Amino acid sequence: MPPRSNRRITLARRPDGIPGPDDFALREVPMPEPAEGQVLIENLYLSLDAAIRSWMKPDCSYFPPIALGEPVRSTTLGRVVASRHPDFKPGDHGVAYACGGWEDYSVVAGESLHRVEKRPGFPLHYHLSIFSAMGLTPYFGLLDIGQPKPGETALISAAAGAVGSIAGQIARIKGCRVVGIAGSDEKCRMLVEELGFDAAFNYKGKNTEQLSRDIAELCPRGVDIFFDNVGGEILDAALLNLAMFARVAFCGAIGDYTRSGPIPGPYHYWQILARCATVRGFLTLYYKDQFPAAIDEMEGWLKSGQLKFSEDISVGLESTIPSFAKLFTGENRGKLLVRLQQDRA
């Protein structure tokens, strides 16, 4: 039997910049009950993603903003505790993509819960990391939007992050020259020595012109694929170095999520025309039908050692807020998860 109450972290006010403890409240509320068509899940893991920060903005445009006083919306991995939906029974596992919360228990619509099962040889919680958005976002961004061809040059921003490091490795598997951009010399060394990037450079303290020079030097034939996680000056510097018919996978703009007020687009937007380039935005959820095949392919790369990744797992609901802040300071070392309950699958 689940307990009678549910602990949750609610949004107390709209953060200014990097979210801190005062922006949230830890509350104890009565255990929710699923209505017809809904499922009650016990959250085993929370996935901490940069997108959550954008949902906290009052003008978030692609999802409803998180309301003040409501639990912070999150992707979670849960075990079904009670079900009023025909597809689920207690004990099943599912991922609530962008519809769970920072809380011990969540009620979700049955059709929004994505059933998962433990894959032999891999822990269940990989369904929140490499077999989830963290792995699938670079998979579809790099392959479907990037359309890599052997010998082309792929440039990856936030390359030491969870998504960027996978994007770079997939580009390398597809035979591209891969160049990473990261925030410290140590991260750059790791990209080249451990993940097989051809080159990497540190963006810290550089303006658009300096960034553009670094890219030009490491991508002498231009950038065929730019996997953009960051936006801002790094995007501008990449646009200045596009090869003809380049593809830009617009996956995020983490540099903008903590800014407020009108944010100008790239100053070198014109390069999209000049290089006959394609910029495509994407939300990984729309590839849902292709998830199983994608996960199969990634499983193969993991087993052969061609694909590596790391997780940064904190323990307990209380660890969520300090752990989330690491996303924006660059302190995390791998995909950020919070473990609330041990996997029992």
Query: Which residue type does 248 have?
Result: V
Residue 116's Cα: distance from chain center in Å? 19
**Nearer of residues 1 and 273 to a copy of itself, judged by Cβ:** 273
Exposed/middle/buried for residue 112 (C-beta within 10 Å: 0-12, 13-18, 19+): middle
Judged by DSSP in three states, 157 sits in coil
Q: Which residues of 286-324 are buried (b: 16+ CB within 10 A; e: fewer)?
A: ebeeebeebbeebbebbeeeebebebbbbeebeebbebb
The window from 106-114, 160-168, 217-225, 270-278 that contacts a copy of itself (CB under 8 A) reads 270-278
Residue 213, interface with a copy of itself (CB under 8 A)? Answer: no
Residue 250, interface with a copy of itself (CB under 8 A)? Answer: yes
One residue of 127, 275, 335, 339 binding a copy of itself per CB under 8 A: 275
Residue 289, interface with a copy of itself (CB under 8 A)? Answer: no
Size of the site for a copy of itself (CB under 8 A): 31
**Nearer of residues 34 and 141 to a copy of itself, judged by Cβ:** 141
One residue of 282, 297, 306, 319 binding a copy of itself per CB under 8 A: 282
Q: Which residues pair with 156 in a beta bridge?
A: 180, 227
Exposed/middle/buried for residue 89 (C-beta within 10 Å: 0-12, 13-18, 19+): exposed
Residue 37, interface with a copy of itself (CB under 8 A)? Answer: no
One residue of 1, 62, 64, 342 binding a copy of itself per CB under 8 A: 62
Q: Which residues, including other chains, have CB under 8 Å from residue 185's CB and lie 6 or more apart? A: 202
CB of 244 to a copy of itself, least distance (A): 8
The window from 117-125, 182-190, 247-255, 295-303 that contacts a copy of itself (CB under 8 A) reads 247-255
The window from 36-44, 124-132, 176-184, 245-253 that contacts a copy of itself (CB under 8 A) reads 245-253
Residue 216, interface with a copy of itself (CB under 8 A)? Answer: no
Residue 251, interface with a copy of itself (CB under 8 A)? Answer: yes
One residue of 30, 64, 150, 264 binding a copy of itself per CB under 8 A: 264
- C-alpha distance from residue 98 to each of 17, 19, 30, 112, 190 (Å): 22, 19, 22, 9, 31
One residue of 155, 252, 314, 321 binding a copy of itself per CB under 8 A: 252
Q: How far apart are CA 304 and CA 143, in angstroms?
A: 19
Give the DSSP letter string of 162-224.
HHHHHHHHHHHHTT-EEEEEESSHHHHHHHHHTT--SEEEE-TT--HHHHHHHHHHH-TT-EE
Residue 31, interface with a copy of itself (CB under 8 A)? Answer: no
The window from 11-19, 74-82, 149-157, 275-283 that contacts a copy of itself (CB under 8 A) reads 275-283
Phi, psi of 30 (to 5 degrees): -65, 150
Residue 272, interface with a copy of itself (CB under 8 A)? Answer: yes
Residues in contact with a copy of itself by CB under 8 A are 61-62, 231, 250-253, 256, 262-283, 286
